[in-house]
Amino acid sequence: MDFTITEKMQVILEMINEFVDKELIPLEPAFLTQSAAEMMPVIKEKQKKVKQMELWGPCYPKELGGAGLNLMEHALVSEALGRSPLGHFVFWCQAPDVGNIELLEMFGNKEQKETWLHPLVAGDIRSCFSMTEVELAGSNPLMMDTTAVKDGDDYVINGQKWYTTSADGAEFAIVMAKTNPEAHPYLQASMIIVPCDTPGFNLVRNIPVMGHAGDGYFSHAEILYQNCRVPQKNLIGEEGQGFVLAQERLGPGRIHHCMRWIGICNRAFDLMCARAQERVISPDGRTLATRQIIQSWIAECAAEIQAARLMVLHAAWRIHNEGAKAARKDISLIKFKVANVMQMVLDNALQVHGGLGMTDDTILAFYFRHERAARIYDGADEVHKVSVAKQILKDRQIR
Ligand SMILES: Cc1cc2nc3c(=O)[nH]c(=O)nc-3n(C[C@H](O)[C@H](O)[C@H](O)COP(=O)(O)OP(=O)(O)OC[C@H]3O[C@@H](n4cnc5c(N)ncnc54)[C@H](O)[C@@H]3O)c2cc1C
């Protein structure tokens, strides 16, 4: 396998790294103390600069207004942007919008593209994805009980969702609901576009996550759909295709997430090494970095980050060359492996910082709080492990 980074990508990555260092990392103290609403004017300013750099929406096709990078190229971009919690949002390739854009691009009809996709890619509006329910196990979405019942030309939606990330201030939600509860379990659900100002779309609250409810893009909402009526033309793809579309939406998304997590590892690792080298722990001037136990953490983190990074790039390469279906096992492997490596690296980095690590004077505590969720969303660790093991055992049986 060739690991060379093309000249084009070297230039782009240099531009992004410089932007993250000079424009985004300095915003972090404000980001950690202010609301998203308070941060929006300066974020918009930075987004304007990204557009001028022609790096807006790095992974969307040029025809749509993006920078047209392929999955392998975007993986490297996602790593660079992950070094700041603002990176993906400022460059407009943030979840859940990125998944919704890919979905609408692949399966949206002409009218849906004009109404929702184009303004979304342009950054004029935001969106959210509403699948997980309060009362039923999200790990097995076949159990969902939100319904969309036909009535005249409309669907009437009823159900209680939560963890609808970024619903606060979003223009529309893509809602998973059962349109035919009598069909085969995998054919019961559909995806439907619901404008967030539709009567019956009730944002109950932004859920406090690790002690912080957040607002705007940086929040996760509970939503009660109560006789929420939308036209049937808001159906994406065909009725009963919900689970198929959900799979399509998640494949490349896991590469984006995993490379973002590698970026977080890189940032935490840099902070850990810098702190170890500067923190004097004895009167003779010796630093933490002189202690073997700290050296061992540094070496182990370096090895884990590199192994995880190569696993993700390999999975991206397989998706790029053989398609998401062929790469199913690789995608599950990276999902739980990288989430755990990130948690271990953040934990070590925080430990090296001692009491300082627990404060918001560095970005580590923010990452530590918010990225714990990586082991839960987009499929909990255990779900992916079971899936990997089943595939391995099945392959061995066939042989
Ligand atoms: C920060 C964050 C953002 C999110 N954003 C969104 C979003 O935008 N839209 C959306 O729809 N949802 C979102 N989610 C929800 C997420 O997808 C679900 O939390 C996830 O699917 C798990 O479902 P659950 O919480 O109901 O846990 P459950 O399904 O109740 O599972 C609980 C635990 O049980 C274990 N488990 C589950 N199944 C198995 C199994 N088969 N074998 C062994 N162990 C198992 C796992 O340890 C799992 O963590 C988000 C969640 C978080 C935390």
Task: Give me the percent of the chain exceeding a pLDDT of 70.
Answer: 100
Mean pLDDT in the chain? 96
Ligand 1 pocket, 344 CB below 6 A? no
Average pLDDT over residues 262-280: 98
Q: Whole-angstrom Cα distance, residue 335 to residue 43?
A: 29
CATH code, domain with 80: 1.10.540.10
- For residue range 142-167, what is the model confidence (pLDDT) as tens digits? 999 999 999 999 999 999 999 999 99
Q: Are 348 and 297 in contact (CB under 8 A)?
A: yes
Q: Whole-angstrom Cα distance, residue 383 to residue 14?
A: 37
- For residue range 325-351, what is the model confidence (pLDDT) as tens digits? 899 999 999 999 999 999 999 999 999
Span from the CA of 163 to the centroid of ligand 1 (angstroms): 10
- For residue range 217-264, what is the model confidence (pLDDT) as tens digits? 999 999 999 999 999 999 999 999 999 998 877 778 889 999 999 999
Answer whether residue 106 is part of any domain. Answer: no
pLDDT on residue 249: 73
Q: Domain check: are 364 and 386 in the same one?
A: yes
CATH code, domain with 190: 2.40.110.10
- For residue range 299-314, what is the model confidence (pLDDT) as tens digits? 999 999 999 999 999 9
pLDDT on residue 324: 85
Q: List beta partners, residue 280.
A: 287
Answer whether residue 1 is part of any domain. Answer: no
Report residue 149 as tokens. Answer: 């019942």
Q: Whole-angstrom Cα distance, residue 237 to residue 106?
A: 9
Q: What is the best residue among 377, 386, 387, 388 to mutate for testing ligand 1's pocket, by most ligand atoms within 8 Å of CB?
A: 377
Helix (H) or strand (E) holding 381: helix 381-398
Q: Are 346 and 352 in contact (CB under 8 A)?
A: no
Q: Domain check: are 135 and 199 in the same one?
A: yes
pLDDT on residue 294: 98
Q: Are 195 and 263 in contact (CB under 8 A)?
A: no
Indicate whether 3 pLDDT > 90. Answer: no
Q: Domain check: are 365 and 262 in the same one?
A: yes
Answer whether residue 323 is part of any domain. Answer: yes
Pairing, β 127-130 against β 172-178: parallel
Total domains present in the chain: 3
Q: Domain check: are 224 and 342 in the same one?
A: no
Answer whether residue 360 is part of any domain. Answer: yes
Q: Structural domain of residue 205, as residue ranges? A: 127-236
pLDDT on residue 399: 67
Indicate whether 47 pLDDT > 70. Answer: yes
Q: Are 188 and 8 in contact (CB under 8 A)?
A: no
Q: Domain check: are 382 and 276 in the same one?
A: yes
Burial of 19 (0-12, 13-18, 19+ CB in 10 A): buried
Q: Domain check: are 222 and 249 in the same one?
A: no
pLDDT on residue 397: 86
Q: Whole-angstrom Cα distance, residue 280 to residue 85?
A: 29
Question: Closest ligand 1 atom to the C-alpha of 379?
Answer: 21
Q: Domain check: are 92 and 53 in the same one?
A: yes
Who contacts 300 (Cβ-Cβ below 8 Å, separation ≥6)? 348
Ligand 1 pocket, 220 CB below 6 A? yes
- For residue range 188-211, what is the model confidence (pLDDT) as tens digits? 999 999 999 999 999 999 999 999
Ligand 1 pocket, 380 CB below 6 A? yes
Ligand 1 pocket, 366 CB below 6 A? no
Q: Are 199 and 229 in contact (CB under 8 A)?
A: yes
Please give the radius of gyration of the chain, using alpha carbons only, rounded to the nearest integer. Answer: 22
Q: Domain check: are 251 and 380 in the same one?
A: yes
CATH code, domain with 342: 1.20.140.10
Answer whether residue 117 is part of any domain. Answer: no
Q: Whole-angstrom Cα distance, residue 348 to residue 272?
A: 8
pLDDT on residue 252: 80
Q: Whole-angstrom Cα distance, residue 250 to residue 130?
A: 14
Q: Domain check: are 145 and 230 in the same one?
A: yes
Report residue 243 as tokens. Answer: 């689970």
